[in-house]
Structure 1
Amino acid sequence: MNNAPVQPSKSLFGAGLLAALAASLCCITPLLAVVGGLGGVASSFSWLEPYRLYLVGLTVAVLGFAWYRQLRPALAAADCCTVPEKRSVMQSTSFLATVTVLAAVLLAFPYYGAALYPARPSAPAVAANGPAPVWQTRTYRIGGMTCEACARHVESEVQQVPGVQTVAVSYDQATAQVRFDAAHAQATQVENAINSTGYLVLNPTR
């Protein structure tokens, strides 16, 4: 009779990582969109945001159970001559620790992801001998943003529109305030730049 403790399976490790990845996808994809040019996929996983806390809880529960199985004391073997079953690398404590660290990095991504964005482009200079700028400020309501990384993505795209001077995006208020030179840019151009990120303007220009 073999009373050796049952070790955590690869499926437990995989489930923990998948839950952690799903909890952070809504914030990872905006960064990938800027760095990798993935465009409209940025908000493809924004629907996961309402379930983020549940996914975080699932990750903690799965990995906690895996650690319980890993560290619980072994039962005494009925046969003194029974040779303990040799663990594979993927059942080792070090591998479980690696999976746990990776899951923690993924779960924490919304709190540090914005720092990984490229530096914001500088506002274009206004030519001294050109026509006087006609500054306008417009506030856009935006749907789909779920973290600071989303806001940085929108800012990066809008800042590239010729004539835009400043962009201030707030993901928690779901707004973008843009100041631009109406002689070089139109409100619809700014709106199109926002929509190109995958997040949609909720008060489109008529």
Structure 2
Amino acid sequence: MNTPASPSKPLLGAGLLTALAASLCCITPLLALVGGLGASASALSWLEHFRSYLVALTLGVLGFAWYQKLKPAPATDDCGCAVDAKPSFTQTKLFLSIVTVLAVLLLAFPYYGARLYPASPTAAAVTAASGVTPAWQLATYRIGGMTCEACAQHVEHAVQQLPGVQAVSVSYAQGTAHVRFNAHKTPSAQVEQAINGTGYQIITRN
């Protein structure tokens, strides 16, 4: 006996795969930070150019899957045999719902991914060693390659780890990083090295 027409597993797998690809450019920085692979954070940033197409493809695949699932199933097949009314779990609405929720979470990752980053230690006031007055500098960098807030959070976290940095603010929307640091403890070259080490490159410095 046959089962009612339902979305195939390859179709649902394709929906999840395209949803993952649509947000991989923003998921990679978090994975790189957790795995200690800073320079690989921007390796898949090129996918950002195709994100709108991948999102549309994901929604199209899932929409077709739901159409197949919700359309009335025939009581008999072409030969007149009764159709099995009890489908397997992978053919149920529950399974399709789970796949849909996972796909939506992947597609929405760029909007909440920055919140998943480990909190950077609070920047305490940097005191001068041996009575040397801190040589505070404020530098603004234009950074290329960032595709979402998760990328900006990755750069900010990397710079915040430097001992002489008092404050750092990275904006994905403006493509900039503002860093206030003690040049006696952390030379500007070290700040630039930390930024470039994330895989996103400094374009200019002011």
Common topology (TM > 0.5): yes
Partner of 1:138: 139
Partner of 2:173: 172
Superposed CA deviations along residues 42-71 of structure 1, whole A, max 9, x for unmatched, are 111110112111111111000000010011
Return the alpha-carbon distance in structure 2 between the equivalents of residues 4 and 39 of structure 1: 49
AA aligned opposite 1:171: Y
Partner of 1:195: 196
Q: 1:202 to 1:79 in 2, by over 3 A?
A: closer
AA aligned opposite 2:94: S
AA aligned opposite 2:60: A
Return the alpha-carbon distance in structure 2 between the equivalents of residues 198 and 121 of structure 1: 22
- Residue 89, structure 1, aligned to residue 95, structure 2: no
Partner of 1:11: 10
Query: Which is worse superposed, 66-75 or 129-138?
Result: 129-138
- Residue 127, structure 1, aligned to residue 127, structure 2: yes
Return the alpha-carbon distance in structure 2 between the equivalents of residues 127 and 104 of structure 1: 47
Return the alpha-carbon distance in structure 2 between the equivalents of residues 15 and 74 of structure 1: 24
Give how far 1:124 is off: 4.2
Give how far 1:4 is off: 6.6
Give how far 1:170 is off: 0.5
Q: 1:34-49 residue pairs with structure 2 within 5 A?
A: 34-49=33-48
Give how far 1:183 is off: 1.3
AA aligned opposite 2:168: V
Q: 1:44-63 residue pairs with structure 2 within 5 A?
A: 44-63=43-62
Return the alpha-carbon distance in structure 1 between the equivalents of residues 2 and 18 of structure 2: 31
Return the alpha-carbon distance in structure 2 between the equivalents of residues 169 and 16 of structure 1: 33
Q: 1:139 to 1:204 in 2, by over 3 A?
A: closer
Q: 1:67 to 1:151 in 2, by over 3 A?
A: same
Give how far 1:6 is off: 2.9
SS at match of 2:131: coil
Q: 1:203 to 1:70 in 2, by over 3 A?
A: same
AA aligned opposite 1:163: G
SS at match of 2:126: coil
Superposed CA deviations along residues 59-107 of structure 1, whole A, max 9, x for unmatched, are 1000000010011012353779622145332222111111000001111
Percent identity reads 64
Superposed CA deviations along residues 114-154 of structure 1, whole A, max 9, x for unmatched, are 11111122224333653111111111111111111111110
Partners of 1:164 and 1:181 within 8 A in 2: yes
AA aligned opposite 1:95: F
Runs (5+) with no aligned partner, structure 1: none
Partners of 1:124 and 1:163 within 8 A in 2: no
Return the alpha-carbon distance in structure 1 between the equivalents of residues 188 and 175 of structure 2: 18
Q: 1:78 to 1:137 in 2, by over 3 A?
A: closer
SS at match of 2:138: strand
Q: 1:181 to 1:81 in 2, by over 3 A?
A: same
SS at match of 2:5: coil
Q: 1:4 to 1:122 in 2, by over 3 A?
A: closer
Q: 1:93 to 1:195 in 2, by over 3 A?
A: same
